[in-house]
Structure 1
Amino acid sequence: MTESIFIGLGANLPSDAGSPVATLEKAVADIAAAGIDIRRRSPWYESAPVPAAPDQPWYVNGVIEVATERSPAALLVLLQQLEAASGRIRSVANAARPLDLDIIAYGERVAQHMMGDVAGDVVGNSGPLLPHPRMQDRAFVLLPLQAIAPHWRHPVSGRSVAELIAALPAGQEIRLL
């Protein structure tokens, strides 16, 4: 049995591919073209930026479940290459972006580090933080995740996706697109 790997996708700026939805559709196609098996994909959701940023457009978000032989670090490298190809420039945390791709969970693997890069995702070549350290606080991750994996459990806390959704901080605006 292969591990369930979940990737969060988001965009709130246009790219060369077009609108945020077009950019996300292209990202899913590019991930598949890289030899990664797309098992399931959520519908797209619109969500207000978190943390709140009234000067930014809303995001379009979704989650895909994939299967790959790539290590978490190798998968992260691919995702960051796709982000860069879309025009993403890593500058300040929580900046608007044409494409954001995050490994939400990689099976039951847990990898925590003390420091991260600008986005807080990786330390040197040691690989991504697993599961994503802020996933449990983000409606734009949990609602799409629940749509494709309603029985998933957080590998550290053991909480179900439904329990995580019930415990979300107030004030996150999200709607099905």
Structure 2
Amino acid sequence: MGKSVQALVAFGANLPFEGESPAQTILAASKALAAEGLSVLAFSPLYATPCFPAGAGPDYVNAAAVLEVDAQVDATSILQRLHRVEAHFGRIREQRWGMRTLDIDLVALGDSVLPDAAVQDAWRMLPPGAQAKATPDRLILPHPRLQDRAFVLVPLADVAPDWVHPRLGLTVRQMLAALPAADRDAVKPL
């Protein structure tokens, strides 16, 4: 591999797949990334987290990873590779924020801001009520809800605590510290 860049990904699952628990699925998926040319540099411990939104189904298992990818590979291609791994583990995209056998989100790619700063800022600042209704028609990086989600930031702090959000200027550690203690405490190590 020539020049490489680091991608931050978040894993989540709350339904079994072919008799395997969500935790087993996430661990198997992390190994399956290699077949897609995505090298795992660091993988967090697994965490149990309350279902989001509350009451939408069984609680989740979450994790995060730092991937090394060739710098020539664009974000859309990385996302397609992640979607292929999800599909291999039974992911069906029927409902936004619904129950799933596996979810792998590309939350950041180095210091990239996609598609541009104005669009990323607009999605990041979307009011909470609109977040549940609006779905972007393209990849937004960093993930616009990253700074709001303890279930992403807690495991991400294990593998990339010093990554700096290119629009907020805050590290993962700082974004996590800014969340309410109750949100942080709800994410429990498995």
- Structure 2: 5+ residue runs without aligned partners? 124-132
Kept in 2: contact 1:139–1:174 (CA 8 A): yes
Larger helix percent: 2
Q: Does 1:109 align with 2:122?
A: no
How far, CA to CA, are the matches of 2:134 and 2:83 in structure 1? 11
Q: 1:48 to 1:79 in 2, by over 3 A?
A: same
1:17 and 1:26 in contact (8 A); partners too: no
Residues in 1 aligned to 2:134 and 2:9: alpha-carbon distance in whole angstroms: 16
CA distance in 2 between counterparts of 1:17 and 1:78 reads: 24
Q: Is the 8 A contact 2:14 2:22 kept in 1?
A: yes
Q: 2-side partners of 1:75 and 1:119: how far apart?
A: 23
Normalised by the length of structure 2, the TM-score is: 0.81
Q: Deviations over 1:51-90 (max 9, x none)?
A: 212x511111111101112211001011112212222211
**CA distance 1:11–1:34, shift in 2 (3 Å):** same
The residue type paired with residue 76 of structure 2 is: A
Equivalent residues of 1:62, 1:141 under 8 A apart: yes
Q: Which residue of 1 aligns with 2:178?
A: 167
Question: Structure 1: how far apart are the matches of 2:189 and 2:23?
Answer: 13
Question: Which stretch of the first structure deviates more once superposed, 151-160 or 84-93?
Answer: 84-93
Count of paired positions = 170
Whole-angstrom CA distance in 1 between matches of 2:179 and 2:31: 31
2:146 equivalent among 116, 128, 135: 135
Q: TM-score if structure 1 supplies the norm length?
A: 0.87
Gaps of 5+ in 1: none
Identity of counterpart residues, as a percentage?
Answer: 38
Matching residue within 80, 89, 93 for 1:90: 93
Whole-angstrom distance in 1 between the partners of 2:28 and 2:135: 25
Q: Which structure 2 residues correspond to residues 23-34 of structure 1 after superposition, within 5 A?
A: 23-34=25-36
Distance 1:119 1:39, change over 3 A: farther
Choose from 146, 152, 161 the match for 1:150. 161
2:65 corresponding residue in structure 1 = 64
**3-state SS, counterpart of residue 53 of structure 2:** coil
Q: Which amino acid aligns with 1:104?
A: V
Assess if the C-alpha contact under 8 Å between 2:6 and 2:69 holds in 1. Answer: no
Contact kept, 8 Å, 1:6 with 1:66, in 2: the verdict is yes
